[in-house]
Amino acid sequence: MSGRPESGPEPCPAARPLGTALVTGGASGIGLAIARGLVARGFGVVVTGRTEPDADLGPHLDFLRVDHADPRAADAVAAATGALERFGPLTALVNNVGRRHNDAIADLDRASLLETLALNTVSPMLLTSRLAPRLGDARGAVVNVSSRLAVVGMPGVAGYAASKGAINAFTVAAAVELAPLGIRVNAVAPGMTRTPLIEAWLAEQPDPAAAEAHVSDRVPLGRLGRPEDVAGAVVFLASPESAFITGAVLPADGGYTVS
């Protein structure tokens, strides 16, 4: 759980107008799109992950090596004072890290299920707990990345859905408990989004174009989400424009959950 490897340029220490945002699991896909969106909005951003992104991070985006499956991860991140204040005070935490769990109920395995719950649910709860004092000092925001599957039933994803349903419940409970500290807590619930995982799934189908058309037909806006669609919702909830919003779970699913 060390910071940037010894090789490579030193991170830029210059403060950003909106301070530092921490994005867990921000090395690729939705997490990296969120990080770039926050930078564009005026945050300096530190992303966490097990491996550093291949993409050029730029001067306002830094990397902190963290394995959030490690039970000590939250404490280690909280102790990384230099990273948390890289671009000014810590003003936003985006709990994005997670893993899929695609087992039918009949096939649920205790060990695998506990791994999913530990990473998807316990990890963001503990990180929020450890960073709340810093976020309170800056009257900051927490944004949890949930899923449409927390509220929409689908076969084969019970473990994943349960982990994200717990995140929705944590969001509303934490919003009330942390409000006296000036901390807002919200969540974004993406629908099916064109991440590398979904791209790989489409490529495995006998007719990828037909498979995409089939899933897109179930979305009122008629297409799959893009990482930038999710990022836009997260950036809004992390920014001053949403200063009077807390306890919300905002769908970013093209209307899927209301249809």
Reduce the secondary structure of 246-259 to three states and give it as a string: CCCEEEECCCHHHC
The single residue of 43, 63, 87, 160 carrying the catalytic annotation is: 160
Q: Are 79 and 127 in contact (CB under 8 A)?
A: no
**160 in active site:** yes
Q: Which residues are catalytic?
A: 160
